[in-house]
Amino acid sequence: MKWYFIRHAESEENARHAMQHDSVPLSALGAREAKKIASALAGDFAAIISSTMPRAISTAKALQAELSLPLEYIDDLKEVRWPSNIIGRATSDPFTEKVRSEISATYEQGSMRVYDEETYDELKARALSSIRELERIGGGRDLIIVTHGDIMKLIMSLLVFGNLLTPTLFQRIKRQYKLSNGSVTLCECAVDGLWKVMYWNKTEQVRA
């Protein structure tokens, strides 16, 4: 069983390096990227599964137009919720950096909340719920999953590390492993039930 994880194509707030609103649409470049992603996919897919955020939906619908597959939605695939006081601000804004640093300093506690952000424990619960839904929908067949950077990294980390995953380890994974807009990452489940990451952040299809 193969799960092809796709980070949505570029949004307008990705383009200006800002903390994203839930409703932000794709940029003009993102719309072009979304049409190219299908060229990196090959398999007998059961469906395309998408987050319910507009930037993921638009990416998924572009894939559906190319591949003629059923499209379903899982709300738990939405991106992590950052504090409302930095949404729309530049990622390089000193206040944004201060808030994110404060959250990072307490993240290992799992349930600790500094502002009104989503905690690691809350995000993990959504990731586990998403995995159960993906297993139900896929029924052992391959899936295309259109979602967002942080929730995608957590789902894949849980598939690979299971109960060994800690908030501290996840923070390290988040920082060190980049996921570009429109990228494809392949995870495969072997017959022994163990998941492996076959490739990460494939971007050739949208950079051509």
Write down the residue that tokens 């950052």 correspond to.
Answer: 82
The sign of the torsion formed by the CA atoms of 151, 156, 157, 163 equals positive
* pLDDT exceeds 90 at position 192: no
Strands 71-73, 142-147: pairing kind:
unpaired
pTM (2 d.p.): 0.95
Distance (Å, rounded) from C-alpha 16 to C-alpha 33? 17
- Tell me the β-bridge partners of 145: 5, 49
> pLDDT tens-digit profile of 61-71?
999 999 999 99
Tell me the mean pLDDT in the region 53-81.
97
Tell me the mean pLDDT in the region 29-49.
93
Q: What are phi and psi of 181, to 5 degrees?
A: -60, 135
- DSSP letter for 85, please: G
Q: What is the identity of the amino acid at 126?
A: R
- Tell me the β-bridge partners of 26: 11
Three-state SS at 13? helix
Q: What are phi and psi of 187, to 5 degrees?
A: -115, 135
- DSSP letter for 108, please: G
Domains of the chain: 2-207 (3.40.50.1240)
Strands 71-73, 45-50: pairing kind:
parallel
